[in-house]
A and B are shown apart, each in its own frame.
Chain A
């Protein structure tokens, strides 16, 4: 990106930028063939006596150079087609259409089978971000040794049940959000599960799940 931007800047800076660029390239590659001639291949020193070449002139010696970065053979049509299209059994380079696309019942967007609906997931990510921001604003970065309860406006208005978070809990940290509870964030998700470190403890009882009542989604 940095190289691209500097290249763009170079191009736009001067009025005769093309001429400037040509001059620049001439400065960098001043050699007629484009490469410095001095960097020849250092071969192994020959132990044999030098064979006299009768027709060896200065021009012939110059021509006996090392050729840099040049194709050795023409690329066959098979090679070219393989590079462009790939091989069907192993690596097909053409894009294949997907036939495993479904429509999400909740939002109506398309999603790939066995994956999450991107639109729905983005909504949950937004909500999570909001909760985290409000938690940070209220409690800062101090360690949270108590359960965190997220309280929405609709929770305060509704009749309290086993799973709705209570306002007067002293052993809980409460985060209040000035909006209604989204339909995907059921209060049942926050109920404690029986699975824990100490399964032998018998005085801990799990609350029964409350049946979720489907309401019309609020706009």
Chain B
């Protein structure tokens, strides 16, 4: 879990939004006593086929309660984490759809996904619409359009193995892949560049000049 990697107890308030939420989680904040562990299951043992399979950590970020901000600090934007687990689609194919919508506003992402000719696009669009609803109903977001895709990624889910025939009585293994899709919507206007943009001509030229100027010819006078 991220909390193991980014354990910054004294510095809660510094760092990115997500680092802060992870800090709160790792510090054993109020989330630990959250619904997931407080449901009493005395007398009822979940049968193997009743257990909810798949990742559970991602929606826990929604129940993080941050400490109050000081007046100097910038207002922390609202966010909502949502996921769809065990989608019957290859994670390597889903990656293209997940990476496509990063940094887009929610409306733009939903519109563009309607015209993407991939099976995974339907699932991602559904997840976005659900997340939008959750944001407005539960997470104090005023306008459903005032959201952008801050994080969008997918991981491998259940793999069901099957058998197929080959020629000459040989047998082959068939793998039916599933994937999990995770999305985080943040309130506000999307940034101009989600990734660092390509440097423009003058910047590249200056870099080249600097490289040439720092060049040293060894063995010369």
**Which residues of A come within 8 Å of B, CB atoms?**
3-4, 6-8, 10-12, 15, 21, 25, 28-29, 93-95, 97-98, 101, 110, 112
Contact = CB atoms under 8 A, between A and B. Distances in A.
Interface residues of B, number: 21
B111 A110 contact: yes
B171 A28 contact: yes
A66 B176 CA distance: 30
A4 B160 contact: yes
Nearest to B121: A95
Contacts, number: 43
B114 A7 contact: no
Contacts of A8: 160, 176
B49 A28 contact: no
- Interface of chain B, helix or strand or loop or mixed? mixed
Given A7-B176, A101-B115, 14 more contacts: A3-B162, A3-B163, A3-B164, A4-B160, A4-B162, A4-B176, A7-B163, A7-B174, A8-B160, A8-B176, A95-B96, A95-B97, A95-B116, A98-B115
Contacts of A98: 112, 115
Contacts of B164: 3
A15 B163 CA distance: 20
B161 A21 contact: yes
B140 interface: no
Contacts of B174: 3, 7
Given A3-B162, A4-B176, A93 B96 contact: yes
Nearest to A15: B48
A80 B161 CA distance: 26
11 contacts: A3-B174, A7-B160, A7-B174, A28-B171, A93-B96, A94-B100, A95-B97, A95-B100, A98-B112, A98-B115, A110-B111
